[in-house]
Amino acid sequence: MMDGSKIKVVARFGLMLVALTLSGCSVGQGSGAASGTLFVLDCSSAGDYCDSSGVCGTPSSAAAYDLKPDFFAGEPIEQLTQFPANGLPLSGSLPRTNRITIRLQRSGKQFENNDALIFDVVDSYEVARCVRGREIVVPGQPNQHDYDDRYCYRASLIGPARVRISVVGGILHSSLSPRMTCTRPVDATADDAFPIDGVVQTAVNGDWKSWIEFTDFGSAAQNEQPDPSLRTAVSSAFRIGLEQRLYASAFSLTLQDQKVVTAQENFVPPRSPDIGGALTGWFDFDLSRGQGAQIFP
């Protein structure tokens, strides 16, 4: 027979196991969708990518594709690299960039054996400013936006914030890796209008080739305050906390072969794409801790 102290130890251990089990179950839970069209040349030994009806995609006519995401994860990362501000040299006083990698996967299997759609939020602070939608009052002048109009568009004061997905100087990138669908390791990146002069311009009504609209981005939204001039400024140390919501009510992606984008960036003749297409969808989940939420263990 166990004495009282041993019974307490066993009980505590049992409670710990229950707690770990419950917390582990939350990793990957969420809801969302991502579907559209896709082509992948030499997708597998059987040939090019074909949809469920047998129609095979080509660069001129992509086939139907549905990611059917069943696993949702976010991995916050403190960017180790410090970027200069306004052309000034780096200094130890500059804040580090907080980023978060968001993944929609077909299953909870390893990333290397999965179809995965990735949203790489390169600068959480800039995205949070867009979602916050704060305006700065300037006496005698129209209010100024407290966010970068080149990468942020707001159709209304309390509606979702549209963030530009841009390869060139962007605050958010996105890519598709169909590694369960195809045995060939190919990746498609969300395309954007490439500026020949390297200068990123604003777009009318947020009409970008690739974008995502956030309704909730951690604690960033302050839509309960209808007057944007009364919303507080976002801290430069902004982070997405555990159990905070990541809700993108919509996204639209124009997918391009990464090697084609690289050729554009290097101003070399374009190469023929092996992958491409377009996806639309949404996602909604709470950030959870756990190994399943990490791309690397």
Higher pLDDT: 291 or 230? It is 230
The full 3-state SS of 6-60, as one line of letters, equals HHHHHHHHHHHHHHHHHHHHHCECCEEEEEEEEEECCCECCECCECCCCCECECC
d(CA 141, CA 146): 15
Residue 271 has pLDDT above 90, yes or no: no
Distance CA 30, CA 47 (A): 34
Q: Which residue has the higher pLDDT, 97 or 129?
A: 129
pLDDT above 60: residue 112: yes
Identify the band that residue 26 occupies on the pLDDT scale cut at 50, 70 and 90.
low
Summarize pLDDT for 35-93 with one digit per residue, the tens: 999 999 999 999 999 999 999 999 999 999 999 999 999 999 876 544 444 444 444 44
What was the pLDDT predicted at 173?
Answer: 94
Total-model pTM: 0.83
In one letter, which amino acid is 244?
Answer: Q
Q: Which two tokens stand for residue 263?
A: 């050729």
Q: Which two tokens stand for residue 113?
A: 């054996």
* The pLDDT value given to residue 245: 96
Q: Please report the pLDDT score of residue 110 as a whole number.
A: 85
Based on its alpha-carbon atoms, the radius of gyration of the chain, rounded to whole angstroms, reads 22
Residue whose C-alpha is closest to residue 287's, from 18, 29, 20: 29
Whether the pLDDT of residue 32 is over 90: the answer is: yes
Domain boundaries, the chain: 26-80+95-293
Residue whose C-alpha is closest to residue 92's, from 106, 82, 78: 82
| Residues 64 and 277: beta-carbon distance below 8 Å | no
